Amino acid sequence: MINWWNTDIGEVERSYLNKAFSEKRFSCGPYVREFEEHIECEMNVAHAIVVPSGTAALTMSLLALDVGPGDEVIIPDMTWIATAQAASVLGAKVILVDAESKEPVFDIEVLERNISEKTKVVIPVHFHGRSGDLDGLLALQKNHNFSIVEDACKAMFCKSGNSFLGTRGDFGCFSLGMISLLSVGYGGFVVTNDDILADKCRLIRDHGMQRQPEHYLCNGFNFKVSDLLLAVGKGQLERIEEKKEHLINVYKLYEDGLKDSNFVDLLPVDHEKGTIPLCVDLKCVHREELAEFLMKGDIEISKFHKPVHTANYLGTFNSKSFPNSIRFSEQGFMPPCGPSQSFDNIYKTIELILKFSV
């Protein structure tokens, strides 16, 4: 079976993990801080704060912005449910906006119509490196009183002009999970250029308390991460350039191999302008039949997530308001890809897709 995702945590990571273990670096310590400093340098951002997951990064950012009951948080309907849950667990009302017709990113015109006096935060989701109209959103922020938390969990080191995605809003949130450019198992981090918000996040990460002498200063949680995981991250950082290059080459193979396909469309990314195609995104009207056809050939795909509006516990949403996100959800999928996916597997997948017919 060819798995849809393939990444590698190898001997380099093992060597750092063994070193951290022998040094008894089990709590949140120097390996975490070294990783944060590396991110700060690479992304040219003032502060990076490591947390247990991308979801934790989103939740901690909203906590730092005092999001709670009575507030509204606007997010795209086409995203992973964690984006919405970060707001809903804090008691905020989730406001959903449809995707653009051509890309699975927020529609800026629909988003603008949903801004109200209760809008506390807007969370643009950079779907596999696609930013949507981030400039338009930043312009809207100047005319309305809301903060921007960029969900860049799947857009690490992707560029937006001369800046990295995740560094233009009040916060940027990233994942270090397995389907990420850098993988440590579970993990994530927050970036910000705001010194006050960064200090508050560091308090929140450790239960909102100051130590030595001990004072309880704000509401918080245990968002700390073990040095053992970030020792793995240290090894991943050393291989970052080869991982980027491999992902771009995988994308190019699909781009060239499927250009004449009658059934499958590639959702483009502009890798020449700094977007890293973490996943290859395809669209097919006959996705279910194609998935069954590929499975018979021992090839796995991953379908796009269900739209957030299908989560009834978030509120009652009219499905007619989200035609584009529904279409992407029903037709979108990822074929075998990832920073360690073999080119032979890509060739086999392309060959079989081209044989598909209905």
Residue 185 lies in a domain: yes
Closest CA to 271 of 188, 349, 157: 157
Q: DSSP letters along 14-57, please?
A: HHHHHHHHHTT--SS-HHHHHHHHHHHHHHT-SEEEEES-HHHH
Looking at the structure, do residues 283 and 219 belong to the same domain, yes or no? no
CA distance 295 to 3: 10
Which residue among 238, 254, 287 closes a domain? 238
Residue span of the structural domain in which 194 resides: 11-97+105-238
334 forms beta bridges with 302
Looking at the structure, do residues 250 and 157 belong to the same domain, yes or no? no
Residue 171 lies in a domain: yes
Looking at the structure, do residues 229 and 244 belong to the same domain, yes or no? no
Question: Is the model's pLDDT at 241 over the cut of 90?
Answer: yes
Which residue among 211, 238, 265 closes a domain? 238
Domain CATH for 333: 3.90.1150.10
Residue 300 lies in a domain: yes
Joined together, the tokens standing for residue 154 give 């799947």
Looking at the structure, do residues 193 and 251 belong to the same domain, yes or no? no
- Predicted confidence at residue 213, as pLDDT, reads 87
Q: Indicate the pTM of the whole model.
A: 0.96
Least confident of 32-41, 150-159, 210-219: 210-219
Q: How many CB atoms lie within 10 A of CB 11?
A: 9
Joined together, the tokens standing for residue 197 give 């918000």
Residue 3 lies in a domain: no
Joined together, the tokens standing for residue 310 give 């299908």
Q: Interior CA angle at 67 toward 61 and 70, to 5°?
A: 160
pLDDT in tens, 327-353: 999 999 999 999 999 999 999 999 999
DSSP H/E element including 163? strand 163-164
Looking at the structure, do residues 311 and 212 belong to the same domain, yes or no? no
Residue 227 lies in a domain: yes
Looking at the structure, do residues 207 and 300 belong to the same domain, yes or no? no
* Position 316 confidence tier, pLDDT thresholds 50, 70, 90: confident
- Predicted confidence at residue 192, as pLDDT, reads 98
- Predicted confidence at residue 44, as pLDDT, reads 96
Mean per-residue pLDDT, 268-282: 94
- Predicted confidence at residue 223, as pLDDT, reads 96
* Position 354 confidence tier, pLDDT thresholds 50, 70, 90: very high
Domain CATH for 18: 3.40.640.10
pLDDT in tens, 29-70: 999 999 999 999 999 999 999 999 999 999 999 999 999 999
Q: Are 47 and 40 in contact (CB under 8 A)?
A: yes
Residue 348 lies in a domain: yes
Number of compact structural domains in the chain: 2
Looking at the structure, do residues 60 and 163 belong to the same domain, yes or no? yes
CA distance 109 to 119: 16
Report the half-sphere exposure of 285 (CA within 13 A, side-chain side): 5
Joined together, the tokens standing for residue 299 give 């090839």
Which residue among 190, 215, 238 closes a domain? 238
CA distance 38 to 245: 20
Cis preceding linkage at 30, omega within 30 = no
Residue 154 lies in a domain: yes
Q: What is the mean pLDDT of the chain?
A: 96
Report which of residues 62 and 316 the model is more confident about.
62
pLDDT in tens, 65-105: 999 999 999 999 999 999 999 999 999 999 999 999 999 99
Residue 317 lies in a domain: yes
Looking at the structure, do residues 213 and 250 belong to the same domain, yes or no? no
Looking at the structure, do residues 34 and 183 belong to the same domain, yes or no? yes
Q: Interior CA angle at 256 toward 272 and 107, to 5°?
A: 55
Looking at the structure, do residues 77 and 223 belong to the same domain, yes or no? yes
Q: Are 230 and 33 in contact (CB under 8 A)?
A: no
Amino acid at residue number 91: G
Q: Are 234 and 35 in contact (CB under 8 A)?
A: yes
CA distance 343 to 340: 9
- Predicted confidence at residue 128, as pLDDT, reads 96
Q: What is the maximum span of the chain, computed from C-alpha positions, in angstroms?
A: 70
DSSP H/E element including 355? helix 343-355
Q: DSSP letters along 169-193, please?
A: SSEEEEE-BSSSSS--BS-EEEEES
Looking at the structure, do residues 342 and 318 belong to the same domain, yes or no? yes
CA distance 303 to 283: 10
- Predicted confidence at residue 358, as pLDDT, reads 82
Looking at the structure, do residues 207 and 273 belong to the same domain, yes or no? no
Amino acid at residue number 313: Y
